[in-house]
Amino acid sequence: MGNFSLAFRVRFAASTSVCYFLASHFFCDSLNQGHGLSPASKKSARATKSSVGTTADASIDLSRLLDIVSSFPRQTIAVVGDLVLDEFVSGEISRVSREAPVLILRHRRSEICPGGAANAVNNLAALGATVLPVGVVGYDEGGEKLLAYFRSRGVKTSGIVRSRDWTTATKTRYLAGWTHTTEQQVLRVDREPAGTLLQSVQSAIERKARQAARSADALIISDYGFGAATPSLARKLKAKRTTLDSRYRILEYAEAGITAATPNEPELEAAYHQQIGHDTAGLEQLGARLLNELNLEALLVTRGKDGLAVFERESPGDAVAVAKHVPIYGSDVPVDVTGAGDTVIAVFTLALAAGASYLESAHLANYAGGIVVMKRRTATVTSAELAAALRREATTR
């Protein structure tokens, strides 16, 4: 009887989990489609879903932004960073397992996308730029897939070092759903390298990074904490301009010659152990502090549905930074934010290389971010999509 009772409780827990999953899934779909809402609520939901933000900055010349986008293919960008493989495994919900309170998924398909620094590389390639990626992958399935992906898209891979003692960072996301419903992520499994890179590998990365930085119009440092991009390496690189995306140790890049950085708000909060929330004054205080401590020319802080903030000095040497706030472009209900930060730094850096000001570059990055979060998976944005967004924006002014 005791065993029966235990089995019943486990099965009940599993059924409850599945019911919760399906109920929340149906509720989200209903909201998306307007089911079960009053006419007024449906109208409000449609307005929210299709709402398109405006830059709200008449000083930005949209025709100039179009010219900048058209010059993207003439730019060369080096990306030094942690290359990641994003894998998405989709399955149709079959039943609840008899072995454990978990869903059994009938496999539909598996997809791969470049992630981390590799996603910044992929976005730059999609925008037509020449990209020089520098990093490390292992002699494993993840490394093979990343290299094959880049080669299929004409991206140079000579700057990517291979190491038998390295595991290619891979993030596998499992997505579940019914035949005609939106999939939801139910599990993520990360495979990460253990330990540090061999000295010989570090030396090879440094040599290739120096060469790429000298050849490029701009350099992106994409530090996800796996070891290919470090503050000490950044200090050894000489580039026309260097932008930084560091997830865990942005303050360590002081005196590294960084031109501009693009942290998100939680990263800024973590750096100084302070909460920002809706405190605009607090955001501006921390942003100005980071700009000064890293000796940056500009700082772009992404804030999700609250848009972004751009900090820059009015003139070189100014101790006081001026902050400008840019509302989001597009819907404030994103489809998938995976990798959006990589898109932002890719477009921001590419625009700088093409001659845009920091504010103009931030606006272009804002458009790109608004486009890419409405796509599923780790996605990219194209020059044609950016140009179309700018033309639509011009008609609303």
Spatial contact of 190 and 174, defined as CB atoms under 8 Å apart: no
Distant-in-sequence, close-in-space partners of 55: CB < 8 Å, separation ≥ 6: 326, 327, 329, 363, 366, 393
367 burial (CB, 10 Å; 0-12 / 13-18 / 19+) is: buried
Architecture (CATH level 2) of domain 51-396: 3-Layer(aba) Sandwich (3.40)
Return the pLDDT at 179.
83
User: Is 217 one of the catalytic residues?
Assistant: no
- Residue 260 half-sphere exposure, CB side, CA atoms within 13 Å? 29
Element (H, E) at 215: helix 199-215
Sign of CA dihedral 246, 336, 379, 192: positive
Distant-in-sequence, close-in-space partners of 47: CB < 8 Å, separation ≥ 6: none
Return the pLDDT at 319.
73
Whole-angstrom distance, CA of residue 235 vs CA of residue 11: 57
Q: Which residue in 120, 144, 145, 143 sits closest to 133, CA to CA?
A: 120
Instruction: Give residue for tokens 């470049």.
Output: 114
How many Cβ atoms from other residues are within 10 Å of residue 144's Cβ? Answer: 15
Whole-angstrom distance, CA of residue 212 vs CA of residue 307: 32
Instruction: Give residue for tokens 């919760």.
Output: 20
Give me the count of residues in the chain.
397
Return the pLDDT at 396.
83
Q: List the pLDDT tens digit at each of the 397 positions of the chain.
A: 444 333 333 343 444 444 444 444 433 443 333 433 333 433 333 333 333 334 447 779 999 999 999 999 999 999 999 999 999 999 999 999 999 999 999 999 999 999 999 999 999 999 999 999 999 999 999 999 999 999 999 999 999 999 999 999 999 999 999 888 889 999 999 999 998 999 999 999 999 999 999 999 999 999 999 999 999 999 999 999 999 999 999 999 999 999 999 999 999 999 999 999 999 999 999 999 999 999 999 999 999 999 999 999 877 777 778 999 999 998 888 999 999 999 999 999 999 999 999 999 999 999 999 999 999 999 999 999 999 999 999 988 7
How many Cβ atoms from other residues are within 10 Å of residue 52's Cβ? Answer: 13
| Domain range summary for the chain, segments of one domain joined by + | 1-50, 51-396
- Residue 161 half-sphere exposure, CB side, CA atoms within 13 Å? 26
Marked catalytic residue, from 82, 223, 245, 342: 342
Distant-in-sequence, close-in-space partners of 251: CB < 8 Å, separation ≥ 6: 271, 290, 293, 294
Element (H, E) at 245: strand 242-246
Sign of CA dihedral 293, 298, 302, 306: positive
Pairing state between β 184-191 and 103-116 = unpaired
Spatial contact of 351 and 123, defined as CB atoms under 8 Å apart: no
Whole-angstrom distance, CA of residue 79 vs CA of residue 217: 11
